[in-house]
């Protein structure tokens, strides 16, 4: 199978492996999905575990495997609800006649059926069974029930089966399943046709050819937001200061060093429908940049600073190129709410994402705890506090909010 691009970059797939000889093909499916950039989390049913081992599934997926032996601790760490909430698509492959029947009936008698019943995500079912079973009225009636509910199906193939009989029933080839999953994710998203500009990372303001003033921003949150908006269908331009992160796949990424370069790159990227300024722009830069490295021994240099342009305020300024939605960030060490409200009005943005950095824990961390402040059309400020969660989840939630905002408008 051709190892195509990162067509599934950042997509999260929940793969349910139920009982059937075809379960061995699911191991290859995991590899192919991961090659394309997806994360794959697996539930192995009791029947599935008769055909493939939890160890091979976890080795290939690089994730813990969830099965019916899950303990209370597992339920605490990753309950069945969270398993579906943290996925974009559930795939059942192979789907046995038994699991299909339980799905059709809405049963919740093991982890797989309970999770799928609680799922708020689309489900793709890939049946695998004996040809007579597949053709049976019972199975076809169950499939019809699932189809009527919007469950997607990859039809079984025809050929010789493990039992020696010939007919329709064997699980579709892995390439076909992958192609259907890619097709599903390639559909236009809620932000298709929209342009987004995202700033990320710190800026470095040079003192001399080797020294700079900067800050501890890693760019993780900004990059995750750019990727999340792209997954919702937006055409994203990411303007980033110096970070140790790879450019997100499929996103036009412009690298800059200083605030002035960032401003220039942002101006060139406008007009846009959405702007998210997550960069930690240095507020000041040295008034003079020495052409040569400053030497010790001479008089101690006096550092005179001048203020940098405010990129967010420039983007949010009223005028015919103002994006419809402008989102700023506020890293505050004290009076977070008060300062954020002032920033919201002072910089003329629509939303502010506030993180409390008083503990210093946000920089370079993978988790973030934020509060979203939104100014409605009447100027009223609505506050919403989110639980601590991975920066990637903050990004997904923010992107979903952006999509809702444009849907409602
Ligand atoms: O004023 P403060 O730096 O706290 O504001 C933070 C917000 O303003 C962030 O969204 C940041 O990206 C943006 N900002 C900017 N240009 C600056 C300073 C801040 O875009 N020079």
pLDDT in tens, the chain (409 residues): 545 578 999 999 999 999 999 999 999 999 999 999 999 999 999 999 999 999 999 999 999 999 875 554 565 556 778 888 889 999 999 999 999 999 999 999 999 999 999 999 999 999 999 999 999 999 999 999 999 999 999 999 998 877 788 889 999 999 999 999 999 999 999 999 999 999 999 999 999 999 999 998 999 999 999 999 999 999 999 999 999 999 998 899 999 999 999 999 999 999 999 999 999 999 999 999 999 998 887 788 888 999 999 999 999 998 878 999 999 999 887 888 888 889 898 999 999 999 877 766 666 778 889 999 998 878 789 999 999 999 999 999 999 999 999 998 8
Burial class (CB in 10 A: 0-12, 13-18, 19+), 361: middle
Q: Ligand 1 test: best mutation among 310, 342, 357, most atoms within 8 Å of CB?
A: 310
Atom 6 in ligand 1: residue holding the nearest Cα: 330
Instruction: Give 26-93 as a DSSP string.
Output: HHHHHHHHHHTT-EEEEEE-TTGGGTS-HHHHHHHHSS-EE-TT--HHHHHHS-HHHHHHT-SEEEEE
Predicted pLDDT of residue 166: 85
Distance in Å, CA 277 to ligand 1 centroid: 7
Could you tell me which residues are beta bridge partners of residue 39?
A: 12
Q: Ligand 1 centre and the CA of 329: distance in Å? A: 7
* Ligand 1: centre distance to CA 310 (Å): 6
- Residue minimizing CA distance to atom 17 of ligand 1: 310
Nearest ligand 1 atom to alpha carbon 279: 12
CA 332 to ligand 1: nearest atom:
4
Residues 6+ away with beta carbon under 8 Å from 321: 270, 271
For atom 5 of ligand 1, the residue with the nearest CA is 330
**Ligand 1 centroid, distance to 278 Cα (angstroms):** 8
Ligand 1 within 6 A of CB of 310: yes
- Which pLDDT belongs to residue 232? 95
Q: Which DSSP category does 287 fall into?
A: S
Do residues 283 and 309 lie in contact, with contact meaning Cβ atoms separated by under 8 Å? Answer: no
Amino acid 336: pLDDT? 80
Q: pLDDT at position 296, please?
A: 84
**Is 163 among the residues known to form the active site?**
yes
Could you tell me if the CB of 354 is within 6 A of ligand 1? no
What is the model's pLDDT at position 396? 96
- Name the residue of 199, 277, 313, 333 whose CB sits within 8 Å of the most ligand 1 atoms, as the mutation to test its pocket: 277
Atom number of ligand 1 nearest to Cα 199:
12
In angstroms, the CA 363 to CA 259 distance is 19
Is the minimum distance from the CB of 199 to ligand 1 under 6 angstroms?
A: yes
State the pLDDT at residue 72: 42
Cβ(61)–Cβ(31) under 8 Å? no
> Which tokens in the block code for residue 212?
């700079």
How many whole angstroms from 373 Cα to the centroid of ligand 1?
Answer: 15
Ligand 1 atom nearest residue 314's Cα: 20
Centroid of ligand 1 to alpha carbon of 306 (angstroms): 15
Cα of 192 to ligand 1 centre, how many Å?
Answer: 28
Any atom of ligand 1 within 6 Å of the Cβ of 330: yes
pLDDT, residue 300, reads: 83
Which of 275, 279, 315, 346 should be mutated for ligand 1, with most atoms under 8 A from CB? Answer: 279
Residue 352 alpha carbon, nearest atom of ligand 1: 10
Q: Whose CA is nearest to atom 9 of ligand 1?
A: 329
Selecting among 42, 163, 277, 349, the annotated active-site residue is: 163
pLDDT of residue 331: 84
Is residue 203 in contact with ligand 1, taking CB distance under 6 Å? Answer: no
**Which is the closest atom of ligand 1 to the Cα of 309?**
21
Cα of 348 from ligand 1 centre, angstroms: 12
Rounded to whole angstroms, how far apart are CA atoms 1 and 32? Answer: 8
- Cα separation, 299 vs 277, whole angstroms: 39
Q: What are phi and psi of 148, to 5 degrees?
A: -65, -25
């Amino acid at each position: 199978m051709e190892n195509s691009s990162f067509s599934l970059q950042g997509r999260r797939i929940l793969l349910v492996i139920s009982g059937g000889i075809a379960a061995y093909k699911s191991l290859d499916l995991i590899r192919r999905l991961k090659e394309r950039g997806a994360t794959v989390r697996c539930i192995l049913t009791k029947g599935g575990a008769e055909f493939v081992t939890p160890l091979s599934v976890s080795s290939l997926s690089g994730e813990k495997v969830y099965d019916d032996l899950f303990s209370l601790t597992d339920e605490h760490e990753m309950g069945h609800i969270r398993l579906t909430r943290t996925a974009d698509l559930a795939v059942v492959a192979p789907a046995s006649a038994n699991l299909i029947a339980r799905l059709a009936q809405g049963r919740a008698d093991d982890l797989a059926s309970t999770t799928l019943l609680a799922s708020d995500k689309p489900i793709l079912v890939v049946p695998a069974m004996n040809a007579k079973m597949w053709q049976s009225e019972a199975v076809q009636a169950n499939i019809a029930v699932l189809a009527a509910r919007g469950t997607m199906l990859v039809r079984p193939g025809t050929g010789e089966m493990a039992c020696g009989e010939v007919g329709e029933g064997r699980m579709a080839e892995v390439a076909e399943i992958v192609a259907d999953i890619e097709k599903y994710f390639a559909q236009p998203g809620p932000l298709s046709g929209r342009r987004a500009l995202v700033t990320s990372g710190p800026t470095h303001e040079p003192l001399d050819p080797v020294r700079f003033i900067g800050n501890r921003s890693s760019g993780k949150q900004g990059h995750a937001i750019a990727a999340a908006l792209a997954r919702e269908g937006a055409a994203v331009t990411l303007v980033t200061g110096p970070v140790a992160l790879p450019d997100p796949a499929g996103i036009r990424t412009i690298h800059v060093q200083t605030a002035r370069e960032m401003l220039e790159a942002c101006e060139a990227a406008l007009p846009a429908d959405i702007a998210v300024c997550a960069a930690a722009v240095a507020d000041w830069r040295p008034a003079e940049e020495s052409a040569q490295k400053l030497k010790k021994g001479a008089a101690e240099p006096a550092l005179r600073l001048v203020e940098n342009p405010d990129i967010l305020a420039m983007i949010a300024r009223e005028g015919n190129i103002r994006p419809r939605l402008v989102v700023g960030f506020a890293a505050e060490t004290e009076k977070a709410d008060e300062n954020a409200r002032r920033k919201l009005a002072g910089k003329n943005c629509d939303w502010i994402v506030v993180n409390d950095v008083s503990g210093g824990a946000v920089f370079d961390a993978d988790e973030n705890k934020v509060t979203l402040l939104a100014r409605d059309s009447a100027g009223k400020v609505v506050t919403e506090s989110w639980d601590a969660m991975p920066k990637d989840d903050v990004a997904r939630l923010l992107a979903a909010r952006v999509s809702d905002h444009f849907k409602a408008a």
